[in-house]
Chain A
Amino acid sequence: MEVLLAVLVGWLFGAAVYLMLSRSLVRYLFGLVLISNAANLAIFASGRLTRGAPALVPDGLTAPAEVVANALPQALILTAIVIGFGLLAFAFVLAYRAHDELGTVDTDAMRVAEPIAEEKPVPAASGRETAV
């Protein structure tokens, strides 16, 4: 089971990195989805896998009687999923807005914040008037 999970995590990380290295912002976002899940599964696996033993304490005892599944990694993953969901939602909206405003999802073409023409000795009026 651990081997299976390890292979899956490795494959997810690999696919995610491949996608995230793309210039297209959309591919990056899909990579982000995959890599979040890969990280969560890695935490899950590192907490050791125990099948069919819920972390419940029987009546009259203060600690579980036998070996039970580790509940902590699951709590960590739950937190990480919630946080990851929020970040992902933001990232998607940001990408959508960036596409609306900048007209592209190619990160190489996004040069508004760092215009290329800057090395010219005579500065062209950049038109970048931002509020202070």
Chain B
Amino acid sequence: MSWLLVLPIAIPMATAVLALLVRKQHIMERYVSAGGGAALFVATVVLLAAVWQDGTLVGRMGNWPPPFGIVLVADLFSAVMVLIAGLTGLLIVIFALATVDVERERFAFHSFYHILLGGVCGAFLTGDVFNLYVWFEVMLISSFALIALGGEKAQLDGAVKYAAINLVSTILFLTSIGLLYGATGTLNMAELNQAVRAVENQGLIDAIAIMFLIAFGIKAAVFPLFFWLPASYHTPPVAVTAIFAALMTKVGVYALFRMFTLVFTNDLALTHTVMLVVAALTMITGVLGAAAHTDIRRILSFHIVSQIGYMVLGLALFTPLALVGGVFYLIHHIIVKANLFLIGGVIKRVAGSFDLNRLGGLYLSHPVLAVMFLIPAFSLAGFPPLSGFWAKLILIKASLDLEEYLIAGVALVVGLLTIYSMTKIWIQAFWKPLPADGAPAGPAPLSGFERVALYTPIIVMCAVTVTIGIWVEPFFVFAERAAQELIEPAGYVAAVLGGGPR
């Protein structure tokens, strides 16, 4: 069955190569790219179905028995993350067809895009810490290319900051891998589960755990390591920002979830307390940062930071229910955040600006777009009956169960402030009349193709948000089972090592 595990990595890589080969035939390249996205999505659905049916899948690369060779592992959490990556990957590539300019496409936009997807899927599927580093690099180098592609002044400015801080995180990650190997003698995550407990010098393990926390914390953009994100995410084309917002920071969150449920659970009092404080501060600073801005993309960028806090909160509380909340939040958030960025892109396309001060009257001219904005915006803020409500409900219930009233209060207040930002966009862009010095009116009306390519992804994502909200039961059951696997890693370890360590 291991070919199922390889496909989500192989398909995007093959698509990238193919797209590069047909780069000169512009139309062909676009077909290849969209087709590759669709194939990836199908493969991820099949993978998730297989994991749901048969339990954790393990693929031994090169047939080396673990812990000697690299293993690819798909438990429910991995599989669902891969599925979400496949879904957003497909939807955003459709959006990109209508928005990314020909010049960028000629310089291999589609190839970089698919390498990014391959790197993300690889990071979700690997069961080896060093291999995780390699996938992080694959992802990172293609994201560097995507963020700088086009070479506008603002893009280069953003890219410098993005690259500088992410490279530091990479080095930290690499160094902590080296130290972890030195302390335990293995890099296989399943074997590490036991190996870190066998180490005599637990102080060293604590130090390594904190190094991993910082390295992944930079990737995930948590307080106080998030400053690269709002400095750079608003500079590239919206399709790029949307795929970054959906997947890049979430890979950091995924890595935190994986390492701090499977490997570093020997000193919860230290690591998970640090995470709790970090989660609270991340939520607050992110949402306050958003309140200060008037550019739609920058508001949304700060909200990524704020929402990461909720996910880390789920991990920090470390009860079964909290992990359910964390997993649920991840799933819900990827869809909602990508959707909001895409809607921002449509606003720019039809009204000519991202700046709220220069927008207005969109409710009058584009009522359908207005309704479609309300769905993810209210979901982000946590209105019932949308997906964000349930995600927040579970997390707050989990913190109340632990009598962590302060953190529950923070989560609620941040939810309120999120509504403030969302209503700000609503009032300024949709509700108020178009200001006199507004954006230069008269961008060309949408062509038929644009209409389809711009609105299809948004409608699908809105539908997913509403479905999760109204028909929450199966999603909750799913998240519960995934969280159960996370908090009791014995099943994961047994699946990889074949019954009992060594």
Contacts and interface: CB of A to CB of B under 8 A. Distances in A.
Interface string A6-47: 000000000000001000010010001001101110111111
A73 B159 contact: no
B163 A101 contact: no
A83 interface: yes
Contact of A80 (B144, B174, B294): B174
A113 B354 CA distance: 14
A131 B231 contact: no
Contacts of A107: 160-161, 164
A91 interface: yes
A46 B178 contact: yes
Interface stretch (A50-58, A60-68, A92-100): A92-100
B238 interface: yes
B137 A83 contact: yes
B156 A32 contact: no
B481 interface: no
B175 A114 contact: no
Nearest to B104: A131
Interface in A83-132: 83, 86-87, 90-91, 94-95, 97-98, 101-102, 107, 110-114, 118, 123, 126, 128, 130-132
B8 interface: no
Contacts of A40: 174
Contacts of B358: 123
Contacts of A98: 156-157, 159-160
Which of B141, B157, B230 has its CB near the most chain A CB atoms (within 10 A)? B157
A130 B154 contact: yes
B499 interface: no
Given A87-B140, A102-B157, A132 B237 contact: yes
Contacts of B140: 87
Contacts of B345: 132
B231 to A, nearest CB: 6
A107 to B, nearest CB: 7
A20 B169 CA distance: 13
B502 interface: no
A132 B238 contact: yes
Contacts of B141: 86-87, 90
A101 B345 CA distance: 26
Interface residues of A, number: 45
Which of B152, B155, B160, B168 has its CB near the most chain A CB atoms (within 10 A)? B160
Nearest to A115: B154
A95 B349 CA distance: 31
B158 to A, nearest CB: 4
Interface residues of B, number: 54
Given A91-B167, A94-B163, A46 B182 contact: yes
A73 B186 CA distance: 11
Contacts of A97: 148, 151, 156
Nearest to A91: B163
Nearest to A83: B137
A40 B355 CA distance: 45
B170 interface: yes
B171 A36 contact: yes
B393 interface: no
B154 A113 contact: yes
A95 to B, nearest CB: 7
Contacts of B39: none
Contacts of B232: 113
Contacts of B357: 123
A112 B156 CA distance: 9
A39 B348 contact: no
Nearest to B345: A132
Interface in B218-242: 230-232, 234-235, 237-238
B31 to A, nearest CB: 22
A123 B164 CA distance: 30
Contacts of A101: 151, 153, 156
Given A46-B179, A46-B182, A113 B171 contact: no
Nearest to A28: B164
B177 interface: yes
A76 B130 contact: yes
B101 interface: yes
A25 to B, nearest CB: 7
Contacts of A94: 144, 148, 156, 159-160, 163
Contacts of B159: 94, 98
Contacts of B182: 45-48
A95 B234 CA distance: 20
Given A86-B141, A94-B144, A39 B157 contact: no
B174 A112 contact: no
Given A76-B178, A123-B355, A39 B144 contact: no
A123 B130 CA distance: 48
B134 interface: yes
Contact of A130 (B137, B156, B164, B235): B235
Interface in B168-217: 168, 170-171, 174-175, 177-179, 181-183
Interface of A: 20, 25, 28, 32, 35-36, 38-40, 42-48, 72-73, 76, 79-80, 83, 86-87, 90-91, 94-95, 97-98, 101-102, 107, 110-114, 118, 123, 126, 128, 130-132
Given A76-B177, A107-B160, A123-B358, 18 more contacts: A20-B168, A25-B164, A28-B164, A32-B171, A43-B181, A46-B182, A76-B178, A87-B140, A97-B148, A97-B156, A98-B159, A107-B164, A111-B157, A112-B157, A113-B157, A131-B104, A132-B345, A132-B349
5 contacts: A32-B171, A98-B157, A110-B160, A130-B235, A131-B101
